[in-house]
C-alpha cells in the first residue's frame, strides 16, 4: 500500500466557501486519523439539517478516483470516533469492509480514552476536578443533550483542573465513550463554562481587554480573540486487536493564540 498523504484536500464549495486541507495525523492497515477542523461535520446527524460532511465528501472524491484519497487505503471509509461539528480534533476512520468492526468493538468495550482540552471561566467552577456520571439523553426537539435520571444513558466524564489564567482556566476531560455533546453538557452541570460554548454553559468568549493592562486599550477597541468554542478532542488512545495506539492533534491557531496572550498577561500580574 502506498504511504498515506500528509493531508487531503477538498475544493471550494464542497465543505465550505474556501478550499480546505485536512491533515492526516496517523494511519495503519484499514484505518486513518484526521485532524478535523472546527465547523465541519464528520458524519450525518439529524441535528445538522443535511449539511455536507467530511466523510461524505471524502467518499465522493474517492468514487471520483482522486489519487490522494485512494492513498488513504480505505475502500469504504466509515467513522469510528470524532468530535462534534463545532469542535476540532482527532477523527478516526476505518474501512467498513476490513477493520471497522474491530475498531467499533474496541470503542464499545471501553478500550479507548478520549481526551479533551478546554478553556473555561473560573466563576462557578470547582477548584478541583472529579467524575461526572449524570445520565444523558438527546432531546431531538430542542436539539440538545440533557440530564435524565429516567431515560438517560450511562455517561461518565472525568474532569481535571489545569493552569489558571486570570479569569480562565485550562481543563482536561477524559472518557471512554462520548455521546453527542456529553462533555459540554457534563461540564455545564459541574459549573465549568467553556469559552465560546453557546448551547450549555454560555460563558462568552475571551476578549482582547482581558489580555492587556488596564487603560492600554483604545475606546471601542475590544474584540473577541476567538470565533469558535475553545474545546477540542486533543487525543484518542487505546487498544485495537491487541495493538496499542495514541493519536494527538495540535492546538488550532485561535486556541493557541488565545492561551499565549492570556499567559503573557498572567505573567505581568496586576497593573
pLDDT tens-digit map of 31-73: 999 999 999 999 999 999 999 999 999 999 999 999 999 999 9
pLDDT tens-digit map of 62-101: 999 999 999 999 999 999 999 999 999 999 999 998 899 9
pLDDT tens-digit map of 128-179: 999 999 999 999 999 999 999 999 999 999 999 999 999 999 999 999 999 9
51 burial class (0-12, 13-18, 19+ CB within 10 angstroms)? middle
Helix (H) or strand (E) holding 139: strand 136-139
pLDDT tens-digit map of 233-245: 999 999 999 999 9
Task: Delimit the domains of the chain by residue range.
Answer: 1-109, 113-271
What does pTM read for this prediction? 0.95
∠ CA 82-228-165 to the nearest 5 degrees?
100
Contact partners, residue 187, CB within 8 Å, separation at least 6: 118, 120, 132, 157, 159, 171, 173, 193, 194, 197, 200, 201
For domain 113-271, the question of CATH label 3.40.50.620 is answered with no
Give the chain's mean pLDDT.
94
Q: Between residues 189 and 201, which one has the greater pLDDT?
A: 189
Amino acid at each position: 500500500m502506498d504511504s498515506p498523504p500528509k493531508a487531503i484536500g477538498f475544493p471550494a464549495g464542497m465543505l465550505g466557501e474556501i478550499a480546505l486541507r485536512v491533515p492526516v495525523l496517523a494511519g495503519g492497515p484499514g484505518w486513518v486519523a484526521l485532524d478535523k477542523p472546527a465547523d465541519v461535520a464528520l458524519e450525518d446527524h439529524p441535528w445538522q439539517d443535511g449539511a455536507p460532511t467530511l466523510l461524505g465528501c471524502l467518499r465522493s472524491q474517492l468514487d471520483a478516483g482522486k489519487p490522494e484519497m485512494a492513498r488513504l487505503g480505505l475502500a469504504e471509509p466509515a467513522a469510528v470516533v470524532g468530535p462534534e461539528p463545532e469542535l476540532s480534533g482527532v477523527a478516526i476512520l476505518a474501512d467498513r469492509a476490513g477493520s471497522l468492526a474491530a475498531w467499533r468493538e474496541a470503542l464499545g468495550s471501553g478500550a479507548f480514552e478520549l481526551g479533551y482540552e478546554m478553556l473555561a471561566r473560573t466563576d462557578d467552577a470547582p477548584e478541583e476536578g472529579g467524575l461526572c456520571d449524570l445520565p444523558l439523553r438527546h432531546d431531538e426537539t430542542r436539539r440538545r443533550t440533557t440530564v435524565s435520571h429516567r431515560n438517560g444513558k450511562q455517561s461518565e466524564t472525568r474532569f481535571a483542573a489545569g493552569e489558571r489564567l486570570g479569569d480562565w482556566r485550562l481543563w482536561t476531560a477524559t472518557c471512554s465513550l462520548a455521546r453527542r455533546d456529553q462533555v459540554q453538557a457534563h461540564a455545564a452541570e459541574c459549573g465549568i463554562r467553556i469559552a465560546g460554548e453557546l448551547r450549555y454553559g454560555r460563558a462568552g468568549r475571551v476578549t482582547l481587554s482581558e489580555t492587556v493592562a488596564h487603560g492600554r486599550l483604545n475606546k471601542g477597541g475590544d474584540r473577541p480573540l476567538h470565533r469558535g468554542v475553545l474545546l477540542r478532542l486533543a487525543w484518542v488512545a487505546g487498544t485495537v486487536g491487541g495493538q496499542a495506539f495514541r493519536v494527538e492533534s495540535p492546538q488550532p491557531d485561535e486556541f493557541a493564540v488565545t492561551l499565549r496572550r492570556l499567559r503573557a498577561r498572567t505573567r505581568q500580574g496586576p497593573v
